[in-house]
Structure 1
Amino acid sequence: MSRYYIILLSVLSLLTACRENEFDQELVREFTLSSAVNGSNYPIKVALPQGYTSAKKYKTIYVLDSKWDFDFVAREVQKQSENFHRNDILVVGIGWGNDRLDDYLPVPFKKGKGRADEFVKVIHEELIPQLEKNFHAANLREDRTILGHSAGGLFGVHCFTNYPDLFGNYLCLSPSLWIGDQIVLSNEKKNRIANQTRNGRFFLAAGGIEEGGMLPPIESFRHILGQYYKGFSHHYTIANGLDHLGSKKTNLKKAISFYFQQL
């Protein structure tokens, strides 16, 4: 086999791999959400399923840190939709209107202003109604999913503990539960009795070699889910040998697989 032929095969293989990791951009709609709640402008992307039609209602997966993770999640959802023969899921990427630590953290930390409660209002009062009106998103809690990594994962757990009627499904990867002296775990305990009446799905994940004090509060939350939230289907996974960032794509794939297996 000639050297030229080997190079050609390598290039074709690389191009094929790139295409497999891209979502069909013709199925993506974009708009800017100008919030009256906090005065910020959020770039929003919506990945439509194949055969999208206004004649049906759609489940939604809300993806935080859209600039980093929207395309990857949209492609994984597309692949799993094909595998499971589904065409009823919208992937909604929420871009940054403020610094991400302002919006995702429930308490001030370093440069983050701790405006998570405001950001919840943006999603609840402004974004979700727009998705329901313009993209035929289903209006039931059990049809809405929040997906986030790190500070985004922390925001997902904050929604679980403080706003349990907003989402029915949580895909939280390497959530920074240590922030604010583990304030989210304190909120869970405070709101536990009321929240135990809910049901849904919860996927929790981390890297096996997470830096700093990431793992202990995640492990604690894992046990809390298993002990107190019997109405939730939940799964916990550790990406062995991978750190905080290195584990993200591996755990994203597992989270999306879990989601589809539970539908």
Structure 2
Amino acid sequence: MTGQPWQIHLAVPRTRVPERGAPALYLLDGNATFPLAWHALSQLRQTRPALAEKLNTLVLIGVGYPSGLRIDTPRRYEDFTAYTPLEFRQARGSDLTTGGRDVFRSFLAGPLRDAVRQRVNLDMQAQSLLGHSMGGQFAMHVLYRQPGLFQRYIAGDPSFWWNGSALLQEQAAFIAGIQAAGGRLALPLHVLLENSGPPAQERPHPAAPLAHLQSLPLWHRQQVDASHGSMLAALVEDAIVFALGAIPSHAERWERAA
């Protein structure tokens, strides 16, 4: 590990979890997203009563930092990125430390998951990961590099542009690997992408090629009236619904690439 601590926000079911274990939603930028998720649980019990029983079994795992900051910019850039050359860092600050994503990914899948499993039985086929912005970029990276770590991936305004759009190279390799394996994933995965503001008319979404993969159900929501920052509350609420195997309101299935 890097030696720097994380601050983990954990909510476990008050009632007995199913015999197969509880579904779990990992929330990156947990200082900001965990309180939103806690509030969303209460709201969803009212607006989605059909999900009430499942909502009572969900484990929330917010991965934040002890700085007290809602968004800890230096830590998140270190955790969510590969080493990034100065030319690609200058827009966000030349003094940013990058390159910690492999350590962070190992922490999520190893020590953190093990610690949670000591407290509650998890359904290892119902694990979801949510990230926004650079966190969304990291979530897509995990999907492309180690897809089996989670079964559902939720990314809001993922930063495909970071590091010279290196994520697009990972995406191309991911698609090519699936095609070489006969066009199907070894395990079922599901992806929800959300974007803020009006859709870009002049170019397709960077993740649009994923829609060609028949074995990867891909859902998208355009939060037309939201900004990059204000989209977060709705994104978190949708992530909870998606983590429970349901489809959020306003999300549409991408059947084919644009």
C-alpha deviation, 1:261, in angstroms: 5.0
Aligned with residue 235 of structure 2, among 236, 247, 251: 251
Larger Cα Rg: Structure 1 or Structure 2? 1
| Structure 2 letter corresponding to 1:61 | L
Identity of aligned residues (%): 19
User: In 1, Cα distance between the equivalents of 2:101 and 2:62?
Assistant: 17
Query: In the alignment, what sits opposite 1:93?
Result: 62
Call closer, same or farther: CA 1:216–1:163 in 2, change over 3 Å.
farther
5+ long unaligned stretches in structure 2: 67-73, 179-183, 248-258
5 Å-filtered alignment, 1:22-101, equals 37-52=1-16, 57-80=21-44, 83=49, 84=51, 85-86=53-54, 87-96=56-65, 99-101=75-77
Instruction: Compute the RMSD of aligned alpha carbons.
Output: 2.6
5+ long unaligned stretches in structure 1: 1-36
C-alpha deviation, 1:52, in angstroms: 4.2
Deviation string, structure 1 residues 129-173 (Cα, Å, up to 9, x no partner): 1112222222x2x31100111111111001001111111101111
Higher share of residues assigned helix? 1
Matched, 1:120 2:120: no
Aligned with residue 199 of structure 1, among 188, 200, 220: 188
- The SS at the match of 2:36 is helix
5 Å-filtered alignment, 1:135-150, equals 135-138=120-123, 140=124, 142-150=125-133
Number of residue equivalences: 219
User: In 2, Cα distance between the equivalents of 1:152 and 1:106?
Assistant: 13
TM-score normalised by the chain length of structure 1: 0.74
List structure 1 runs of 4+ shifted beyond 6 angstroms.
none
Answer whether contact 1:209 1:243 (CA < 8 A) is retained: no
User: In 2, Cα distance between the equivalents of 1:112 and 1:216?
Assistant: 32
User: In 1, Cα distance between the equivalents of 2:81 and 2:105?
Assistant: 11
Call closer, same or farther: CA 1:112–1:81 in 2, change over 3 Å.
farther
Deviation string, structure 1 residues 76-103 (Cα, Å, up to 9, x no partner): 2354367212232100011127711000
- The SS at the match of 1:231 is coil
Answer whether contact 1:206 1:251 (CA < 8 A) is retained: no
User: In 2, Cα distance between the equivalents of 1:143 and 1:260?
Assistant: 8
- The SS at the match of 1:128 is helix
Deviation string, structure 1 residues 17-62 (Cα, Å, up to 9, x no partner): xxxxxxxxxxxxxxxxxxxx22221111111224145966211100
User: In 1, Cα distance between the equivalents of 2:38 and 2:230?
Assistant: 20
Answer whether contact 2:25 2:127 (CA < 8 A) is retained: yes
- The SS at the match of 2:147 is coil
